[in-house]
Structure 1
Amino acid sequence: MMLKPEATSQTTTRGELTAKAIRQAIVRIEKGRPKVVKPGRKLSIQAVAEEAGVSRATIHNNHPGLAERIREAGNKAARVQRDEKNTELKELRSKYRDLRQEYVHARQLNQDIASEMASLAAENQRLRAIVENEKVVGFPSKNGDRNNVL
């Protein structure tokens, strides 16, 4: 007596074919090479359903494991994007802190220069008053100029 191989062990069921189509759609979208949906579209159950040619309900009801995989991958992408934004924010805060310190230093330097300039202006005014005074006699310089006061 010869045994016939069972038909169910060699043929794939419609559910298995659908699951395979969904898995392939997930991979195509993740790799950025979808056939149906627009490239660059984020991984979602809607996008996978469109790419695989099935309904969202089919994924949710008949393939909950794949639906969970899609949600996890989407959450992972969101976490990666959030982490990138947080890193960028930290860098910008650091840059702001550095610029703020530079601003405070420049402002202090500006105040110091303004103070020095006021002192020099007062000294200049004092020296002019001395030169313009008729009682002040200038000492002759090496070149013979008698108007030189100092």
Structure 2
Amino acid sequence: MGVWQLLMVGLVMLLGLLGVLIPGVPGSWLMWAAVAWWALQDTSALAWWLLVGSTVLLLVTQGVVWHLPPRRLRGVGVTRRMVVYAGVGALLGFILVPVVGAVPGYVGGIYLSERLRLGGHGPAMTSTRTVMRAIGTSVLVELFACLVIAAAWLGVVFGA
């Protein structure tokens, strides 16, 4: 697979990661489509194992998200700024403390956004809890699964 095709797969994965954060965009399915496209082009055993693993992980993730309480966007106060802070926090956490750092990074991003908006620790904590109850947990589960898939793909591409 050429460099341009790998860049395109990486771009679709990036869109999938962003899609998880944007309501209405099928981010996890974009991730799966990128891995499937890559695996169909790079027919190594490792590519196929990654496709199978990502398929299983995304199906399990969809089952977990389905069992979580439904997303309640109205009246929670989720802003674009909060979504950006949460996404950047999860990505930085995932990189700084591999894999498990995404969870505190995500919650920390929401807290930082609310701290800057509301000005104090108490209101920011209350708002962070409200957001995590309303939409945060289901978004976090999906984002975490997509980050794991992206990291595994990067490991296979640059490790081989």
Give the structure-2-normalised TM-score: 0.28
The structure where helix makes up a greater share of residues is 2
* Structure having the higher Rg: 1
